[in-house]
Amino acid sequence: MKRMFLLAVLALGLVLGSACGARTNSQGDSPNEELIVIGMSQVGAESDWRVANSESMKAVFSEENGYRLLFNDARQKQENQITAIRRFIQQQVDYIVLMPISESGWDSVLQEAKEASIPVILVDRMADVEDESLYAAHIGSDFLREGTLAVNWMESGFRERGETLGIIHIQGTLGSTAQLGRTAALEAAIETHGHWELLAQLDGDFTQAKAYEVMTDYLSGVPGQRRIDVVYCENDNIAFGALQALEEQGYRCGREGVNIITFDATRGALAECLNGKISLVVECNPLLGPLVEEAIQTMEAGGTPEKHRYVEEQAFTQEDLTEALIACREY
Ligand code: GYE
């Protein structure tokens, strides 16, 4: 309501040719009161992707752009996200932006937001809620498609291979949409390719430290050197941890050795792909701030944003990359 009044005042100001800046009103209130207030619950800072995603949000939802951003870092705990959302509801923010750590467990808190008439925008991962009206829009990646890009590359790269293809799979945070989609693509392909063998499935929790630890533990338990053809890493930081562990144990990584596959396409991973140590990088775009703003502006104008919006993404191998291309990337 307050915003409707503001828009009316603003429109009047424009008609009268007044010099008023956007979102100030004629009553002498502090301009800050006229900012659109966004309560944002971010998963954490577990990966380079996540840091780039937070930066994209902070760059868009700035005071100069007409927003007041209440940013909460949940330090990878769903209970922290739920507490933050309840606080945003008490503070009567205009919108809640939620990057859900995992898919389940959101029904009641999102119901509370709905009862308070605060639209919720899901970003990056999804929330698996029974009632779709509990969120206004979802903006993120199609993780199953990303996994399928990786699997297609494996299928064509190892087509001629008669012998067993030994695969290690290091997963991201269990129960998150990114993990579920990327895992589903690999598991479905393993089912259909009789000679693809899953040597191990490890939990890397999307962090470099965890991936390094689980990969080191695994390799230390293998007598001598085992033939490993592919390490399917569910994000770049997992790939960095796995690469370090493999090299420390004397494995050679690259097309002639262990083929590391990764997701995100941060500059660090693309550089390792260009130098030949990572074989395939599947892009996952974290720069979602402008799309979230579009959805909010659609609602501000009384419209309905698209319910699900997926960003375009591609896959890179060494041949696709140059130093100049990597330098141009924003993350
Ligand atoms: O791949 C990973 C991050 O949900 C897309 O989460 C995101 C994933 C991303 O920690 O690096």
Query: Which residue from 199, 151, 143 is spatially nearest to 176, judged by alpha carbons?
Result: 143
**Angstrom distance (rounded) from CA 177 to CA 263:** 14
Q: What is the pLDDT along the chain (331 residues), one digit of tens a residue?
A: 345 444 444 443 333 333 333 443 334 445 456 999 999 999 999 999 999 999 999 999 999 999 999 999 999 999 999 999 999 999 999 999 999 999 999 999 999 999 999 999 999 999 999 999 999 999 999 999 999 999 999 999 988 777 899 999 999 999 999 999 999 999 999 999 999 999 999 999 999 999 999 999 999 999 888 899 999 999 999 999 999 999 999 999 999 999 999 999 999 999 999 999 999 999 999 999 999 999 999 999 999 999 999 999 999 999 999 999 999 999 9
- Whole-angstrom CA distances from 122 to 40, 93, 318 are 10, 16, 34
Taking the alpha carbons of 295, 296, 302, 304 in that order, is the dihedral positive or negative? positive
Mutation pick for ligand 1 pocket among 51, 124, 203, 281 (CB with most ligand atoms within 8 Å) = 124
Are 60 and 296 in contact by the 8 Å Cβ rule? The answer is no
Mutation pick for ligand 1 pocket among 55, 206, 283, 287 (CB with most ligand atoms within 8 Å) = 206
Query: Which residue from 212, 218, 252 is spatially nearest to 233, judged by alpha carbons?
Result: 212
- Tokens representing 122 are 């899901």
The atom of ligand 1 lying closest to the CA of 48 is: 11
- Tokens representing 140 are 């993120």
Which helix or strand (DSSP H or E) is residue 133 part of?
A: none
Q: Is 317 helix (H, G, I), strand (E, B) or coil?
A: coil
